[in-house]
Homo-oligomer: A and B are copies of this chain.
């Protein structure tokens, strides 16, 4: 693991998600750029001192020299955005598979380099766009892919949060500080941090691509350097229209990611606040609520559900679905076996490139008040 030392935020989430299914064991880490802190963080996690490294370069180099049965199988990168590209590239160059937090990197150019490297090495690269790994999101994707709601016409995707409603970055709040700093976060604020989740969710569920977009981004907090709120009109590659709204100043909202997709015959409605339900509206039948405990679900849905039917699952289980699938895929490579297709689905470097292209387009569109539509590469 790279990053995630004492005081970090998302590192512990990655560790819990990786541990959940008993398929992955944390064996080493460069938990902090402060060598002492890295060692202490590793000790907290019951790691031996010689596997706690002072930085990621040291870790990757030393681990690559260990015997295959001892050395780590893959690297998990849980640092702020500006520290994704370097470690990811180095890990790939040294033959390690990678799990990387999102957005994938700082620029679209970096993203393309990573994609090229992944393609040339044929290594596994997973991006933790966690939300698309909820069972009911898998169900929504399959229902649309199987034509249950007909051709998609309309998408409404939104991700309101409220935690940046005040200038928290000035109060030394670590998460707020780097997320509003262009040098660490990239060209976009809310649109990069959570807008990309919305974009990823919309494209994943519908199987469509955003062709062009028109954005209105705004910074409501005086002195903040990046957007904290925005709306985007979307035109999809099949002619469907959409709207995407992401905000970190929607006071009082937690993580209210929600997607609605309407087709010719019906509509799907999923919200992260109640992730175990998928609302299905029909043109001429009563609304249904799909849940894991009752009725027949697609195999892809069932494969990403792990507890007694009808009990609620949450964010960690969705996160763990990515790690578990990555573990299965790595095991299959090690054992030269095949993985069941239902376990091969997780966000990849291609999703990462799309996310960076979305950020580029949305920021460009947001800056200009004249040009209406901006194409996504």
Contacts and interface: CB of A to CB of B under 8 A. Distances in A.
B289 A295 contact: no
A68 interface: no
A15 interface: yes
Q: Which of A231, A249, A290 counts the most chain B CB atoms within 10 A?
A: A231
A333 interface: no
B153 A220 contact: yes
A12 interface: yes
Nearest to A287: B289
Nearest to A283: B251
Given A10-B308, A308-B315, 5 more contacts: A154-B229, A163-B309, A254-B293, A274-B312, A284-B295
Contacts of A166: 283
A270 interface: no
Given A231-B242, A233-B216, A263 B288 contact: no
Contacts of A263: 251
Interface of A: 9-10, 12-13, 15-16, 19-22, 26, 45-46, 149, 153-154, 156, 158, 160-163, 165-166, 214, 216, 218, 220, 229-231, 233, 235, 241-243, 245, 247, 249-255, 260, 262-267, 272-276, 280-291, 293-296, 306-317, 368-373
21 contacts: A19-B20, A154-B220, A154-B229, A154-B249, A160-B260, A162-B262, A165-B264, A231-B243, A247-B262, A251-B282, A251-B283, A252-B282, A252-B287, A253-B281, A254-B294, A285-B294, A288-B288, A288-B289, A307-B315, A311-B315, A316-B316
A20 B22 contact: no
A20 B288 CA distance: 33
A296 B285 CA distance: 7
A343 to B, nearest CB: 16
Nearest to A306: B16
Contacts of A243: 231, 243, 245
Contacts of A373: 369
A316 B313 contact: yes
Q: Which of A250, A294, A306, A368 counts the most chain B CB atoms within 10 A?
A: A294
B283 A165 contact: yes
A373 B216 CA distance: 10
A262 B272 contact: no
Q: Which of A149, A162, A371 counts the most chain B CB atoms within 10 A?
A: A162
Contacts of A252: 262, 266-267, 280-283, 287, 294
A19 B306 CA distance: 14
A6 to B, nearest CB: 14
B272 A250 contact: no
A308 B154 CA distance: 24
A273 to B, nearest CB: 7
B288 A295 contact: no
A159 B334 CA distance: 46
A311 B216 CA distance: 27
A287 B253 CA distance: 9
B289 A294 contact: no
Contact of A254 (B15, B260, B309): B309
